[in-house]
Amino acid sequence: MFNYHAHNMNKSLITSCCPTVVNLIEKHYPELIPQLAPVLSPMMLQVRELKRKYKKARVIFIGPCLSKIEEMNRVEDRLLRPDIVINFKQLRVLFEENGIFPEDFEESEPDLVAGPQIADYPLSGGAVKAAGLSADGIDNKITSVYISGIDNIVEVLEDIKKEKLNTDIVELLACDGGCISGPAIENDLSIPVKEILVNNYLQKSQSYDPEKSKTAVREKIDLNRIHKDKKKIREEPPEQAIREILVSIGKYSKEDEKNCGGCGYSTCREKAAAVYYGFAEKKMCIPYMKSRAESLSQIIVESSHNAIIVVNEKMEIQEFNPVANKLFNKNNRKIKNLKLGKIIDSSIFKKAWLNQQIISHHKYSYFDGSTVVDQTIFPLPEHKVVIGILTDITEQEKQREEVQEMKKLAVEKTNIVINKQMQIVQEIAGLLGETTVETKAALSELSDLLQVGE
């Protein structure tokens, strides 16, 4: 049986009921294993007692914890390992698949009595109380802290490792507030509400009977458990490999290593090492991906078949791609930060910015009609810029004008033919009658069709 007083009182004792915490310490803080209470978890103890008492029984553990499944798989002793571990979420699915509805059944009390020490075990601080290690359970000189939440736990373990935490007992539970917030508990209740519900249930429950618990048989049972150092030590990656990975994500020099932490690693070198071991991908780098996105955007702008012009709210040119330069920068002037009005008429850009409106497919002629474009102008107020996308339609406009000119000539010739025909028709009007009117209508319709599209 574990003896608290035999523990090294100069070091904090860490309770080991939570399998997630045990895993964390064994794999990442093995130097703290001597401070981890060397006792079996409650699940292991329950399973062992049940299997000893009921030789042919199969033991099923049901709870809110996912880590219990992993804990079951790593237990080597058959007497300590449940036959099946499922969580509350899986139990609900099992009920639904088999048409079982708990609300259809009458409530009943648990077969085993829960004493005052263990009844509120799932709450933060409950494990220390259940083990009789609280201040009231040993003496008033014992100090203890109860920490829940994995981020908080990591911080506390770092403090314990650096000997900054000076307390006798440290209870660590991975879930916020304790097991009552396990991942398989599906509700949106806050931790205080959950604690109140548990306490209210215990006060009403017949199983919560301090008097009955005093009559329970107190046996000395073996609690001992050996924790193992499971930390994997990897050799440092070759410096050449680290450099190649850093260069591949745009880190050509020490100055390029921003160590921003956006990838989840403290430094760029740590990230490179993780990539080397296959734990991370190169694209998990915010500055690198931002740079790539900007480069890709620049490539798209530079290679576009349209003229792309970007100006700020002062109408100063910020971007002028090669097509825009070819169309409008006849004198090959230096463009950056030059007022757009010095190059082309900027009134449409000003209108888009002042009215904060998109101007779509607006046909406009520049340089006295020598350059005709279909332009779409739109503001981006969050970036304080106006973007213009201009498509050169000069050749199409010339072709359209040529076609219109041909149509105009055709109409004129058609009208001449109509007039001549009418003269002839008038001479033989008496003979043709209504046919004259039909002929004129047909020729007039031809004339109208030729004019369509003007």
Q: Which residue has the tokens 């031809």?
A: 446
Q: Which residue has the tokens 């047909």?
A: 442
Asked if 368 and 348 count as a contact pair (C-beta separation under 8 A), the reply is: no
Q: For 60, how many CA atoms within 13 A lie in the half-sphere containing its CB? A: 6
- The C-alpha atoms of residue 200 and residue 81 are separated, in whole angstroms, by 32
- The C-alpha atoms of residue 18 and residue 157 are separated, in whole angstroms, by 14
How crowded is residue 285: how many other Cβ atoms within 10 Å of its Cβ?
Answer: 25
Architecture of the domain defined by 239-291: Orthogonal Bundle (1.10)
- The C-alpha atoms of residue 372 and residue 368 are separated, in whole angstroms, by 9
Q: What is the pLDDT of residue 363?
A: 92
Give the full edge-to-edge strand order of the sheet including 307-312. Answer: 317-320, 307-312, 385-392, 371-380, 359-366
- The C-alpha atoms of residue 384 and residue 289 are separated, in whole angstroms, by 23
- The C-alpha atoms of residue 224 and residue 389 are separated, in whole angstroms, by 75
Q: What is the pLDDT of residue 448?
A: 66
Close Cβ partners of 79 (under 8 Å, ≥ 6 residues apart): 47, 48, 51, 52
Q: In whole angstroms, how far apart are CA 69 and each of 42, 64, 83, 102, 203?
A: 14, 11, 11, 24, 31
Q: In whole angstroms, how far apart are CA 415 and each of 363, 405, 411, 439, 446?
A: 33, 15, 6, 13, 10
Q: What is the pLDDT of residue 214?
A: 47
3-state SS record for 169-237: EEEEECCCCEHHHCCCCCCCCCHHHHHHHHHHHHHHCCCECHHHHHCCCCCCCCCECCCCCCCCCCCCC
Q: What is the pLDDT of residue 192?
A: 87
Assign domain 305-392 one CATH number from 3.40.50.2300, 3.30.1520.10, 3.30.420.40, 3.30.450.20. Answer: 3.30.450.20
Q: What is the pLDDT of residue 5?
A: 47
Q: How far apart are the first and last CA of the chain?
A: 103
Backbone conformation region of residue 306, classed left if phi is above 0, alpha if psi is from -120 to 50, else beta? beta
Q: Residue ranges per domain, the chain?
A: 4-214, 239-291, 305-392, 398-451
Q: In whole angstroms, how far apart are CA 155 and each of 23, 161, 230, 351?
A: 16, 10, 20, 56
Domains 239-291 and 305-392 share a fold: no
Q: What is the pLDDT of residue 439?
A: 59
Tell me the mean pLDDT per 10 residues along the chain, length 454: 52 86 93 92 89 91 90 88 93 93 84 62 68 53 82 93 88 88 86 84 63 51 84 86 90 87 85 88 81 76 90 93 91 88 93 94 89 94 92 91 85 78 67 56 63 55
Output the six-digit token pair for 271: 């990230």
